[in-house]
Structure 1
Amino acid sequence: MSKTLLYGATKVDETNAAYAAVGSLEQFQWKNRVVVIFPDTDNARAARQENMLLADREGLSERDVVVLKVAEGSVRAIFGAAESLDAGVLEQELIGLSAGEFAAVLVGKDGTVKLNVREPVSSGELFAIIDAMPVRAAEAADAKDQS
């Protein structure tokens, strides 16, 4: 049974090793937040998720977000850049779903899972979760000090 906890505005799914860094995404640690989309059989929810996120490219860029899609045994960067990622390892580490089930997973800059959902999430909801993270608050404070 999966249980989702709410810490401040950050949802954490304890069944997916939420407190351990996601090794396969190590190249992004302390540089980027990563949203990984796993498509459903007909790709409807995945396409909706992609469209919602890509509608605010500026918001993604401002928050250092890379968006990846894992489909048909490969990983494709939808927004941002990524190198040499193994789709099978990502599936194992992040979701453990049956083939054809939709999931979207947010991994923070610290490399831990911050959100794991089975329905598309709006960019506003995603940004609210990111903006509530301590690392993001520090980034915002640094940007304010520099302006």
Structure 2
Amino acid sequence: MTHLKRFCLAIVLPLFIGPAYAQDQAPAPEADAPTPSIFFDANGVDIAEFQWVNRLVVVFADSPADPRFAQQMEMLEALPEELAERDVIVLSDANPALKTALRTKYRPRGFMMVLVGKDGTVYLRKPLPWDVREISRSIDKLPTRQQEIRDRRLTQ
């Protein structure tokens, strides 16, 4: 009888222990899945696609070697989650020879950073780099952002 019990335990026990053991050994799901990039080249972009969906930060320069352009992009890339939280897409245009639709519309002279609201309105034009904190404060004052904050409070 003892051999029969051992035999049954040897067959049945792994059926119960196996799944629990496998669950403990399974790799943990990643806490933070990679977030999609918010940075895009402005060439060929139709800003109408973003209306009522995203705010735009458009960074212009006459060359990617412009120190103001490099500084602005570094500041934006340092805190992408702050921008993503505010539905911001960053478009960069550092080649005036391409004559993009954005260059035609906003007519930059050298370096320029433009903040465009979800409604398509230009809210800021800056000739010098701005950090994410300053941009975020400006966005948070916009009427559509204020409404988003109120809506978020109601759903929580």
Q: TM-score scaled to structure 2, two decimals?
A: 0.65
Matched residues in 2 for 1:87 and 1:136: separation? 31
Q: Does 1:142 align with 2:151?
A: yes
1:89 deviates by 1.7
Q: How does 1:105-120 map to 2 (within 5 A)?
A: 105-120=114-129
Match of 1:91 among 93, 97, 103: 103
Which one-letter code corresponds to 1:116 in the other structure? R
Q: TM-score scaled to structure 1, two decimals?
A: 0.69
Matched residues in 2 for 1:96 and 1:37: separation? 9
2:83 — aligned with what?
A: 60
1:122 deviates by 1.1
1:51 — aligned with what?
A: 74
1:72 deviates by 2.4
Match of 1:37 among 38, 59, 68: 59
More strand by share: 1
RMSD: 1.8
Matched residues in 2 for 1:87 and 1:69: separation? 13
More helix by share: 2
Larger radius of gyration between Structure 1 and Structure 2 = 2
Highest relative contact order (Cα 8 Å, sep 6+), 1 or 2? Answer: 1
Is the contact made by 1:70 and 1:87 (CA closer than 8 Å) also made in structure 2?
no
Q: CA separation of 1:96/1:53 partners in 2, compared to 1, >3 Å: closer, same or farther?
A: closer
Which structure 2 residue ranges, 5 or more long, are not aligned?
1-45
Q: Which runs of at least 4 in structure 1 moved beyond 3 Å after TM superposition?
A: none
Q: Identity of aligned pairs, percent?
A: 40
Q: Secondary structure at the match of 1:109?
A: coil
Superimposed CA distance per residue, residues 82-119 of structure 1 (whole angstroms, 9 cap, x where no aligned partner): xxxx852211211242xxx1011110000011101110
Superimposed CA distance per residue, residues 41-68 of structure 1 (whole angstroms, 9 cap, x where no aligned partner): 4321111111111211111110000001
Alignment: residue pair count? 110
